[in-house]
Every structure is written in structure tokens, then in C-alpha cells.
Amino acid sequence: MIVILMGVAGSGKSTIAHALVALTGWQFAEGDDYHTEANRQKMHAGIPLTDEDRLPWLNRLHDVLIGWQKSGLSGVLACSALKQSYRDILEKNLPPGSYRFVLLDAPVAVLAARMHNRPGHFMNPDLLQSQLDTLELPADALRIDATQTPEAVAREILRQITLPDTTRGVPEPRSR
């Protein structure tokens, strides 16, 4: 199973991804790590990315997903995936049922507060409205309230996705 955590900046994609990985032991990819330095600089300066800016980034993330699928690995990708066209690139050639998009949803005030409370992050908080304007709500994604604790959100995601027959149910936390 591949879970693609999507949503605007501040929705908790990275935090929830870490909680999912802690519960499952699955692979993890942080979408932000795949941006070019030029894209990071634009976002830091408060300049929204264009579709052209995003295309190489989306293709690199697609390669990660295909690699997991070909290797038989489950994984969690934290990636905004704001438009349907972006999601189409990510899911291209993945077998139906092998992945699930999960939209992390939170009120704008929560999103803004989270963005202002992450010092050192390259994403300029002034881009929140641009992200909200760009977001095309997916018809086929799970929509999860991201205002709960990270572990509660992760458990809710696991409860709602269909896991392979060998791992039915919500996994117990791995011992540390």
C-alpha cells in the first residue's frame, strides 16, 4: 500500500507521515526534499510555483512511487498534490488499489498558525492563500480531520484504507 498524504502547507503532511511510519515501518519520502533549490528559493521569497516549476518535482516523486511498487514496498509520501493533474502524474502506471490519496484537512486559522510556528522552513506563510486557491479537492481521496493528534490521524488513516490481506487491521505501534 502506498499512502500519498496531500494538502496545503501546514496541513500536517510530514508530521502525519512520521506517525504513519512509526506505526507501520513503511518507507517514507518527504516531497519537499525533491524540490530543486530554485523552487525552494521561489517559495521562500513568497513566489508561487508554476505548473512548469512543479513538473520535474512531480516526475521525481512519481519515480519514487514506482520504485516502491516495483520492489513490493509499502510507503508514505508527503506531497501537496494540489491539482488533479499533479495527482495524475503521481499515480501514472500504479496498479489500482495499490495507493490511496489522503487529503489532510484543517481550518485556515490552524494552517496559518502552523506555518508561522515552523521556523526555518522554506515555505513562506504568505503562500497559504495561493495554495488554498490552487487546491482542487479530489473526488477519490480520503478526507481526514488533521486537527487531532498525529497518532490519532495516522490510526484513522490506517483504519480507513484497505490493507493487504496479510496486514488487515490497524497495526500496533512498533517497539522502540
Q: What is the mean pLDDT of each run of 10 residues along the chain (176 residues)?
A: 92 93 96 90 83 94 97 96 95 95 88 67 62 86 92 95 49 38
Q: What is residue 138's predicted lDDT score, i.e. its pLDDT? A: 92
Pick the CATH number of 2-167 from 3.40.630.40, 3.40.50.10740, 3.40.50.300, 1.10.530.10: 3.40.50.300
Q: What is residue 170's predicted lDDT score, i.e. its pLDDT? A: 42
Q: What is residue 48's predicted lDDT score, i.e. its pLDDT? A: 81
Q: What is residue 99's predicted lDDT score, i.e. its pLDDT? A: 96
Predicted TM-score (pTM) of this structure:
0.80
Q: What is residue 132's predicted lDDT score, i.e. its pLDDT? A: 82
Q: What is residue 162's predicted lDDT score, i.e. its pLDDT? A: 62
| Residue 142 near residue 102 (C-beta atoms within 8 A) | yes
How is the chain split into domains, by residue range?
Answer: 2-167
Angle, helices 13-24/150-160, rounded to nearest 10 degrees: 70
